[in-house]
A and B are shown apart, each in its own frame.
Chain A
Amino acid sequence: MNTPDKKNMKHECPHQQECLQLLQSILDGEATTEQKDRFMGHHLEECMPCYQNYHLEVAIRDLLKKKCSNEAPQDLVDSIKQKVIQNLSK
């Protein structure tokens, strides 16, 4: 996607919900190459609401990855390993 010329972009999208669903499939790696090329290379450069949605979707995913992961406590990991070893020796 090139950086679009904001002056020439539409400020209303008549298909915003449908576009958002398509955008999400693209970001989820579930869209076809053709869908992806048409949307990313064409629609996003002319449609402001979808362009903003794209950046918002990407930012939310980044934030989720950064802020919503918790590592298992080491004592729990050790205790699970221990229990399995005990099971094996039975």
Chain B
Amino acid sequence: MEEEFIKNNYTDAQKQEIFDKEFMPQINAMYNFAYRLTLERDDAKDLLQDTYLKAYRFIDSFQQGTNAKAWLFRILKNSFINDYRKKSKEPSKVDYQEVEAYYNSEEVDRQITPDLRVESLGNMIGDEISNALNALDVDFRTVIILCDLEGFKYEEMAKILDIPIGTVRSRLHRARNLLKEKLSEYAKSMGYKTA
């Protein structure tokens, strides 16, 4: 992001104000993002704390009046990739590229016929959707969180994730198809009518 090249020289009082008024209000959304990435409460806590301390350390490169939430989410995402993804059980980058190549093929759109109905969603009053989301590959999970939970625009997501807007769009579409597939498996296993 371009604001990283701008260095401000905030006073301690200004820093404290930015931290309290711009960064702290995002803490629940940030915690949820950390949890959905790591899928472990303890890792989520560490990741959140590391991210906030990093944000504080680099506060001079935050431009007041710009989108603090997007700025923080990008730091958290980068910390996750650098410090947590390596040690987690997530598939490696190579595996992921294969996964994405597969899901980007036209074939898959035709195969996925989400035979899921609104009525069966109404019965999912427990953790079904949360489990379905957590079961997705981390990159698919991430775009759903950023868009559907946090309401980021495609352009902001492209900056947070360092990927082109076209990739945001197609990855979101695949992610949603995969989520529906999972939900429809749940619906079937619970014996709900899906078709």
**A68 within 8 Å of B (CB atoms):** yes
- Would B114 and A56 count as touching, CB distance under 8 A? yes
- Would A88 and B183 count as touching, CB distance under 8 A? no
The listed residue (B19, B118, B133, B183) touching A84 by CB distance below 8 A is B19
**A11 within 8 Å of B (CB atoms):** no
> Which of A20, A25, A28, A79 has the most chain B CB within a 10 Å cutoff?
A28
Number of interface residues of A (CB under 8 A): 34
- Would A70 and B27 count as touching, CB distance under 8 A? no
User: A60 and B121 in contact (CB under 8 A), knowing A72-B27, A76-B48, A81-B24?
Assistant: yes
- Would B130 and A67 count as touching, CB distance under 8 A? yes
Q: Which residues of A contact B84 (CB under 8 A)?
A: none
- Would A17 and B109 count as touching, CB distance under 8 A? yes
- Would A25 and B169 count as touching, CB distance under 8 A? yes
- Would A73 and B45 count as touching, CB distance under 8 A? yes
Q: Which residues of A contact B56 (CB under 8 A)?
A: 84, 87
Give B1-44 as 1s and 0s: 1 = Cβ < 8 Å from A's Cβ atoms: 00000000000100110010000100110111001100000000
Hey, which bits of chain A sit against chain B, CB under 8 A?
17, 20-21, 24-25, 28-30, 52, 55-57, 59-61, 63-65, 67-73, 76-77, 79-81, 83-84, 87-88
Hey, which bits of chain B sit against chain A, CB under 8 A?
12, 15-16, 19, 24, 27-28, 30-32, 35-36, 45, 48-49, 52-53, 56, 109-110, 114, 116-118, 121-122, 124, 127, 129-130, 133, 144-145, 147-149, 153-154, 169, 172-173, 176, 179-180, 183
16 contacts between A and B (CB under 8 A): A17-B109, A21-B173, A56-B118, A57-B176, A60-B176, A61-B148, A63-B129, A64-B144, A64-B148, A67-B127, A67-B129, A67-B130, A69-B28, A76-B49, A80-B49, A84-B19
